[in-house]
Chains A and B, each alone.
Chain A
C-alpha cells in the first residue's frame, strides 16, 4: 500500500519517463486517491488514527528531505521544529481560542522564521558539524519547553479539546481528522514537488552536489541554503501543529531527541532525495517501534537499531531511491520491445 501511494510522485520527478508512462501516472493517482478516501471506512478507529499519524510523520519527513536530501544539510534537530509547530498550535488554541484549522498558517510562519534564523549560523557548517549542532538543539528542546512554563505549561504540557467534525458530514472525529491531514499531505506533496522540480529545487541540488560549482554558476548559495532550511522547517512545523491537533496533547517529553532521530531515520530509510520516500518513512516511524516491541520485549530498541542497519546495508539510498529505478525499468521494458530502447532506459 505504501508503495502505491508513493508511486505517482516519484514518477513525476524522474525526468526519463517515457511519454506513454503519463497514462499510467494518472491511473495511479486516481487509484491512490480512491483508496486513500475509502480506507478510513474499512478500518477501526485506532487504525485510522495510526494512518493519520503516518501521514503527519510523512509531512515532517518530507520537510527533512528537502533539507537533507535535496540540499545536503543533515539535521538531527527537526524534532525541535516539530515541537515549535505543535506548541504554536496548542498555545493559540488553548490561550486564544483560535479554531484548529487557523493554527496551521501561524505554525507554518513560525517554523519558517525560526528555520531561517537557524539556517543563518548553519551556513557555517557542513555535514557532520551540522548534525552535531542540530543534535544539541534536539537535546535542548525539552529543557527549554520545561523552562518557559508560563507559556508551555511546563512538565504538565497542554491539554487540547479535539476538534468536532462538521455535523452535516456525519463522520466521527478520527475519520474527519484523517481527511484533514490527508488534504494537507496532498497539498504539501504538491507544493514540495513544485519547489523541487523548478528553479529553486535545481539550485538546492546544485549546492548539494557541488557548492563551489553552484556558486560559480551564479547561484547565491547562502540565500538558497537558508531558504532550504526555512522551507524544510515550515513543513515540519505544520506537521507538528497537526500532531498537536490530532493527539490533543503536547508535553516536553514528546519532543525528545528520539523524535528527531526518528525523522532522520525515516528519511534515510524511505529515500532522502525522493518525495515518495517520505511516506515510506512515515510508515517506518509509526510502525517499526511497535513491531520491534512485538519481536523482543526486552530490548526493542536493539531490534529497531538492527532494522536501521539492515536498511542502510541493503538499500543505502533508501527504499524508494533503490527500488524505484527497478519499477521504472519494468514499465519501460514492457512498453518497448525494441532492444535498443530497452538498453537506453537501462542507462537512464
Chain B
C-alpha cells in the first residue's frame, strides 16, 4: 500500500511537468489552431540557457527568472519570424515548419552543448516528507506548476491584455475591428507558451538530466495529457497531464515492462479519442457550413 501511494505521488510530480507542457500546447492551439511540434525542443533549449547561467555562477532563482524572460522574447521572435510566413498556408505547411523548427533546435543544442548528458541542479532539497510518501523535490515541482497555473488564470481573467488575447483567439476579425493588435497577441501567446515550456524544462531537468533529446518522451506524454483533457481546455490540460503521469507510473510499476511506456501513452491517446473525442473537459467544436 505504501509503495502504491508512493508511486501515485511521484506520478503526480511527473504529471505536473507533463501538465505544464500540455498547457503550453493548449495555449498555442487555442490561439492559432496550430499544434507546435517544437514545443518540447524549445523547452529543452530554454533549460540549456538556465544551465549556462547557473554554471556561470548565478543563483538558481535569478538564472530561472532570466531564462523565463529570454524564453518569452525568444517565443515572440519565433512567432514573428518563423511562423508568421505560413500563417495562411495549408495546415501541412505549418506542421512541417514546426517540425523543421524541432530539428533545428535539437541540432543546434547538440552543436553548442554536445550530446553529453549533463547534471542539472535542483532548486529543492531532496528530503522525504509525509512519512516518505513523497520528497520535497516532488512537492516543489507540483507547487511551481500550481503557482504558474494560478498566475496564468489570473492573467487571462483579470488583466486587459489577457482579455485582448482571449478575444483575438476567439474571433480574430472582430477583435481586430475593436482595435486589438491580433498579430501582437499571437506573438505574446507564443512567448507565454515558451515561458511555460521553459518552466517545465527546468523542473524536469534534475530528474531526467539534461541532453538535447530529453524532451522527446515528455512531449508525447504532454500531448497525451492535452488530448485527454481536451485540447481546447487549459484546466483539462493540467488534469490530463496529471492523469497521464500517474497512469504512466502505475502501469510501468505494476503491469508491463517500462520499455513499453511510450506505447502505453499511445494506447491511452487512442482510447480517449475513441470514447471521448473532445477529451474530458474539451468542448466540441461546432463548424458552420
Contacts and interface: CB of A to CB of B under 8 A. Distances in A.
A299 interface: yes
A188 to B, nearest CB: 22
B5 interface: no
Interface stretch (B144-152, B179-187, B189-197, B270-278): B270-278
B262 A139 contact: yes
Contacts of B102: 305
Contact of B270 (A74, A121, A213, A309): A121
A272 B100 contact: no
B240 to A, nearest CB: 13
Which applies to chain A's interface (DSSP): helix, strand, loop or mixed? helix
A144 B265 CA distance: 13
Contacts of A264: 92, 95-96, 99
A268 B92 CA distance: 7
Contact of A299 (B108, B224, B262, B289): B108
B107 A305 contact: yes
Interface in B234-264: 257, 259-260, 262-263
Interface in A266-310: 267-269, 272, 298-306, 308-309
Interface size class of A (residues with CB under 8 A): 35 or more
A265 B96 contact: yes
A5 interface: no
B86 interface: yes
Contacts of B257: 147
A261 interface: yes
B86 A316 contact: yes
B223 A132 contact: yes
B274 A121 contact: yes
B277 A125 contact: yes
B59 interface: no
Contacts of A127: 91
Contact of B273 (A129, A261, A268, A303): A129
B265 A136 contact: yes
A305 B269 contact: no
A140 B263 contact: yes
A312 interface: yes
Most B C-beta atoms less than 10 A away, residue of A124, A129, A304, A312: A312
Given A74-B92, A121-B270, A128-B95, A313 B223 contact: no
A313 B86 contact: yes
Contacts of A265: 96, 99-100
Contact of A132 (B111, B227, B260): B227
Contacts, number: 133
A51 B93 CA distance: 27
A137 B97 CA distance: 21
B208 to A, nearest CB: 16
Contact of B29 (A124, A128, A147, A317): A128
B273 to A, nearest CB: 5
A338 to B, nearest CB: 35
Nearest to B85: A313
Interface string B83-95: 0011001111101
Contacts of A304: 100, 103, 107
Nearest to B217: A139
Given A265-B96, A306-B104, A139 B289 contact: no
A317 B101 contact: no
A140 B262 contact: yes
A133 interface: yes
Contacts of B224: 136
Contacts of B269: 132-133, 136
B61 interface: no
Contact of B103 (A136, A301, A313): A301
B221 to A, nearest CB: 10
19 contacts: A121-B270, A121-B273, A136-B266, A140-B263, A144-B263, A147-B259, A268-B92, A299-B110, A301-B106, A302-B107, A305-B104, A305-B107, A308-B99, A308-B100, A309-B97, A312-B86, A313-B85, A316-B86, A316-B93
Given A129-B227, A301-B104, 17 more contacts: A74-B92, A124-B277, A125-B277, A128-B29, A132-B223, A132-B269, A135-B220, A140-B266, A147-B259, A267-B92, A268-B93, A268-B96, A306-B100, A308-B100, A309-B100, A309-B104, A316-B93
Interface of B: 29, 33-35, 37, 82, 85-86, 89-93, 95-97, 99-104, 106-108, 110-111, 216-217, 220, 223-224, 227, 231, 257, 259-260, 262-263, 265-266, 269-270, 273-274, 277, 287, 289
Report the 4 A-B pairs with minimum CB-CB distance, sorted nearest first.
A308-B100, A301-B107, A305-B103, A305-B104
